[in-house]
Amino acid sequence: MSGIVGIITKKDCKEDLFYATDYHSHLGTAYGGIAISDNDILQKKIHTISKVQFKSRFVEDIDFIHMKGKSGIGVISDRDIQPLIMRLRFGEYAICGAGYIDNQDELTRELIDEGVVFSEMANGKVNQIELVAKLINQRDNLVGGIENMYSRIDGSVSLLLLGKEGIFAARDKYGRTPLVLAERNGDKIVVSETCAYKNLGFKTKKFLGPGEILLINEDKVEQKKKKEDILQLCAFLFVYTGFPASEYEGKNVEEYREYAGRIIAKKDNVDVDLVAGIADSGTAYAHGYSHESGIPVRIPLLKYTPGWARSYVPPSQETRDLIALMKQITADAIIKGQKIAITEDSIVRGTQLKNYLLVKLWDAGAKEIHIRPACPALMFPCKFVFSTRAIEELFARRVLKKMHGRHIQDVEPYLDTDSKQYKEMIKAMEKDLNVNSLRYQRLEDMLSATGLPRESLCTYCWTGKEIK
Ligand code: SF4
Q: Is residue 384 lining ligand 1, measured as CB closer than 6 Å?
A: yes
Q: Amino acid letter at 167?
A: I
Phi, psi of 323 (to 5 degrees): -65, -45
Task: Indicate if ligand 1 lies below 6 Å from the C-beta of 382.
Answer: yes
Q: In the CATH hierarchy, which top-level class contains the domain 252-450?
A: alpha beta
- Report the alpha-carbon distance of residue 468 to residue 458 in Å, rounded: 11
> Which residues lie closer than 8 Å to 302 by C-beta, 6 or more apart?
328, 329, 330, 331
- Determine the residue of 281, 460, 465, 468 to mutate for testing ligand 1's pocket, defined as the one with the most ligand atoms within 8 A of the Cβ atom: 460
Name the DSSP class of 297.
B
Partners of 234 in the β-ladder: 458
Going by CA atoms, what residue is nearest to atom 4 of ligand 1? 382
For ligand 1, atom 5, the nearest C-alpha belongs to 234
What ranges do the domains of the chain cover? 3-231, 252-450
pLDDT mean for each 10 residues of the chain (468 residues): 96 97 94 96 95 91 96 96 95 96 94 92 86 96 96 96 97 97 98 98 98 97 98 97 96 97 97 94 96 97 69 60 81 98 93 90 98 97 80 94 93 96 98 98 97 96 89
Judge contact between 138 and 73, C-beta under 8 A.
no
Is the C-beta atom of 233 inside 6 A of ligand 1? no
Omega within 30 of 0 (cis) for the link into 83: yes
Residue among 174, 385, 456 to mutate when testing ligand 1 (max atoms within 8 A of CB):
385
> Would you put residue 394 in left (φ > 0), alpha (ψ -120 to 50) or beta?
beta
160 Cβ partners below 8 Å, 6+ apart?
4, 5, 6, 73, 95, 96, 97, 167, 168, 169, 170, 190
Burial group, residue 190, by CB count within 10 angstroms (0-12, 13-18, 19+)? buried
Going from the C-alpha of 224 to that of each of 85, 108, 155, 187, 362, the distances in angstroms are: 22, 28, 22, 20, 58
Binding site membership of 446 for ligand 1 (Cβ less than 6 Å) = no
Given this model, what pLDDT does residue 351 score? 87
Atom of ligand 1 nearest to the CA of 177: 5
Tell me which amino acid residue 12 is.
D
Q: Is the CB of 385 under 6 A from ligand 1?
A: yes
Q: How many CB atoms lie within 10 A of CB 431?
A: 12
> At a CB cut-off of 8 Å and minimum separation 6, what does 163 contact?
37, 90, 91, 92, 93, 94
C-alpha of residue 239 to centroid of ligand 1, in Å: 10
Note the pLDDT of residue 124: 78
What distance in Å separates the CA atoms of residue 108 and residue 251, rounded to the nearest whole number? Answer: 37
Q: Which pLDDT value is given to residue 265?
A: 98
What is the predicted pLDDT for the residue at 311?
45
CATH fold of 3-231, please? Glutamine Phosphoribosylpyrophosphate, subunit 1, domain 1 (3.60.20)
E strands along 121-254, which residues?
121-122, 125-126, 155-163, 166-170, 180-184, 187-191, 203-207, 213-216, 221-225, 233-234, 247-248, 251-252
**Which run of H or of E encompasses 74?**
strand 71-77
d(CA 93, CA 300): 50
CA angle 221, 223, 229 (to 5 degrees): 140
CA 78 to ligand 1 centroid distance, Å: 15
- Identify the bridge partners of residue 95 per DSSP, sorted by sequence position: 84, 161
CA of 79 to the centre of ligand 1 (A): 17
Collapsed DSSP state (helix, strand, coil) of residue 407: coil
pTM of the full structure: 0.94
Report the residue among 78, 100, 173, 176 best suited for mutation to probe ligand 1: largest number of ligand atoms under 8 A from its CB.
176
Which residue's alpha carbon is nearest to atom 2 within ligand 1?
Answer: 461
Vertex 165: Cα angle to 159 and 166 (nearest 5): 50
pLDDT of residue 388: 58
Q: What is the pLDDT of residue 125?
A: 86
The alpha carbon of 231 and the centre of ligand 1 are apart by a number of angstroms equal to 13
Q: In whole angstroms, what is the distance from residue 242 CA to residue 1 CA?
A: 10
